[in-house]
């Protein structure tokens, strides 16, 4: 092999290893043709070098394909690992509150005070299968089932956060669902007011919701068995078994919901008060006098687009009668006007409720805690206003004027004004 031939081979090798300059093997083959045609290399050398270039091109293509397959497999592997995130939905809110409370007289049950408070809630729901969901939520607050507020006090102390709900829900069909654990009540027990049920109460046990559409709207039924307390030395632990039958309807601009509920409490009678001190339920030796089985009726009717397009007006009412007592009952009625949901900027709603709950109408660890600390034997008026100053930022004003109304108990009046700023996320 002469020096000229060696130089040519070196030139070709240089071309082969400088892909960015010549871009592809096709350019190198064209160069070999020129060298052959002008006599620089022989036909034998041309064929040898051309075959070598073709072999290199096949190796390069194979290498590129192999690398691409590895990269794709790596991407698919990462994608598979992240699929769990698609099954999880997160939501939460932060509420800042100034609460002014004025009591008259100051007899120890209610005291005048001013508090600055916050509420923080964070929840997640995960899709386990196509018909099974699991939910988990945390909230600020202590052991009070009716409050997730934390007061700003104690020299910048750290605050409590607890499990607010933890449940599994099975939806085998569009018309049926079953839930177990600690869960949100609204879907499984409807009530238009908080006369009997504080909005923070999340029951524990199991419930079933059934519904069926018809020509008048949607008929539904709810049943459940909830655990109230567990006593180590008592076999008959306090529980609540309930059944609710109702119907929702729509016709043009009219809408409504009516329901009847039977509450069967078991194990409360002759057991110690669940709320401890401050109970207005009748106690004998510190134990409940009644089991508090009760019948409840609830209704709401309304009209859309009243006075202003998009604004709804509705009236609502709740009634309860203690089946174990000849006299004790409770009722609430009121109205609301404004947007169905206060979320987008400029939406608003105003609500009024008059409530009267006699001392033994219902167990007093469940009603709205803002009405004279949540006790029974209370009559109250409430007016509330909510306005969205921006999307998911809501200003709220809530005013209660409550008084104790139970035979044999001292007069106790309380006025509460709550000013809230709520951030949803």
pLDDT band, very low/low/confident/very high, at 18 (cuts 50, 70, 90): very low
**Model's pTM, two decimal places?**
0.81
Q: What is the gyration radius of the CA atoms in the chain, in angstroms?
A: 36
Check pLDDT > 80 for residue 336: yes
Is the pLDDT confidence value at 279 over 50? yes
Among 109-113, 177-181, 191-195, 319-323, which stretch is predicted with the lowest mean pLDDT?
A: 109-113
> Residue with structure tokens 């006098």?
289
Reduced to 3 states, what is the DSSP secondary structure of residue 130? coil
Here the tokens at position 412 are 């106790």
Hey, what are 382's tokens? 């409430």
Q: What are phi and psi of 143, to 5 degrees?
A: -90, 0
The least confident of 94-108, 236-250, 353-367 is 94-108
Short-list 269, 281, 265, CA closest to 359: 281
Residue 12's Cα: distance from chain center in Å?
70
DSSP 8-state code for residue 131:
T
* Alpha carbons 34 and 230: distance in angstroms, whole number: 96
Closest CA to 267 of 285, 286, 252, 287: 287
For domain 91-424, which CATH number applies: 1.10.150.20, 1.10.1660.10, 2.40.160.10, 1.10.3720.10? 2.40.160.10
Q: What is the rounded average pLDDT of the residues 364-391? A: 94
Separation between Cα atoms, residue 310 and residue 347, nearest integer Å: 10
Going by C-alpha positions, the residue among 152, 137, 215 that lies closest to residue 183 is 137
Mean per-residue pLDDT for 356-383?
A: 94
317 near 329, Cβ under 8 Å? no
Neighbours of 300 (CB within 10 A): 22
Q: Is 35 helix (H, G, I), strand (E, B) or coil?
A: helix
Which range among 8-17, 18-27, 152-161, 282-291 has the greatest average pLDDT? Answer: 152-161
Position 238 pLDDT exceeds 80: yes
C-alpha 149: how far from chain center: 17
End-to-end CA distance of the chain: 79
Question: How many other C-beta atoms lie within 10 A of the C-beta of residue 38?
Answer: 8
Tokens coding 266:
């078991």
- Quote the percentage of the chain above a pLDDT of 70: 86
Q: What are phi and psi of 324, to 5 degrees?
A: -90, -5
Domain edges within the chain: 3-81, 91-424
Judged against a pLDDT cut of 90, whether residue 62 lies above it is answered with no
- pLDDT value of residue 68: 76
For the ranges 54-68, 231-245, 333-347, the lowest mean pLDDT is seen at 54-68
Q: Cα(150)–Cα(134) distance, rounded to whole angstroms?
A: 27
């Amino acid at each position: 092999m002469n020096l000229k031939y060696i130089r040519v081979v070196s030139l070709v090798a240089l071309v082969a290893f400088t892909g960015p300059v010549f871009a592809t093997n096709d350019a190198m083959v064209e160069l070999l043709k020129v060298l052959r045609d002008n006599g620089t290399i022989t036909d034998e050398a041309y064929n040898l070098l051309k075959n070598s270039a073709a072999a290199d091109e096949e190796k390069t293509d194979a290498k590129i394909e192999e690398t691409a397959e590895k990269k794709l497999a790596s991407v698919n592997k990462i994608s598979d690992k992240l699929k769990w995130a698609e099954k999880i939905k997160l939501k939460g809110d932060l509420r800042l509150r100034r609460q002014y409370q004025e009591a008259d007289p100051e007899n120890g049950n209610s005291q005048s005070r001013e508090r600055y408070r916050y509420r923080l809630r964070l929840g997640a729901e995960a899709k386990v299968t196509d018909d099974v969901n699991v939910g988990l939520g945390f909230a600020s607050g202590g052991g009070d089932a009716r409050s997730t507020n934390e007061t700003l006090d104690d020299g910048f102390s750290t605050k409590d956060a607890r499990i607010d709900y933890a449940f599994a829900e099975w939806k085998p069909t569009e018309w049926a669902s079953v839930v177990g654990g600690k869960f949100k009540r609204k879907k499984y027990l409807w009530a238009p007011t908080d006369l009997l049920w504080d909005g923070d109460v999340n029951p524990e046990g199991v419930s079933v919701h059934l519904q069926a559409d018809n020509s008048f709207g949607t008929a539904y039924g709810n049943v459940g068995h909830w655990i109230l307390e567990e006593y180590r030395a008592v076999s008959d632990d306090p529980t609540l078994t309930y059944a609710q039958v109702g119907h929702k309807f729509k016709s043009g601009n009219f809408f409504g919901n009516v329901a009847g509920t039977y509450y069967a409490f078991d194990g409360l009678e002759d057991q110690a008060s669940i709320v401890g001190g401050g109970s207005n339920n009748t106690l004998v030796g510190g134990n409940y006098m009644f089991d508090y089985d009760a019948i409840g009726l609830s209704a709401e009717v309304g009209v859309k687009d009243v006075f202003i397009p998009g604004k709804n007006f509705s009236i609502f009412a709740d009634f309860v009668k203690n089946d174990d007592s000849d006299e004790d009952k409770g009722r609430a009625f009121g109205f609301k006007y404004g947007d169905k949901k206060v979320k987008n900027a400029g939406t608003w709603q105003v609500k009024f409720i008059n409530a009267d709950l006699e001392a033994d109408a219902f167990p007093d660890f469940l009603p709205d805690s803002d009405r004279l600390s949540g006790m029974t034997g209370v009559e109250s008026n409430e007016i509330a206003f909510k306005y969205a100053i921006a999307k998911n930022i809501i200003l709220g004003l809530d005013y209660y004027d409550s008084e104790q109304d139970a035979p044999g108990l001292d007069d106790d009046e309380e006025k509460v004004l709550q000013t809230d700023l709520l951030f949803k996320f």
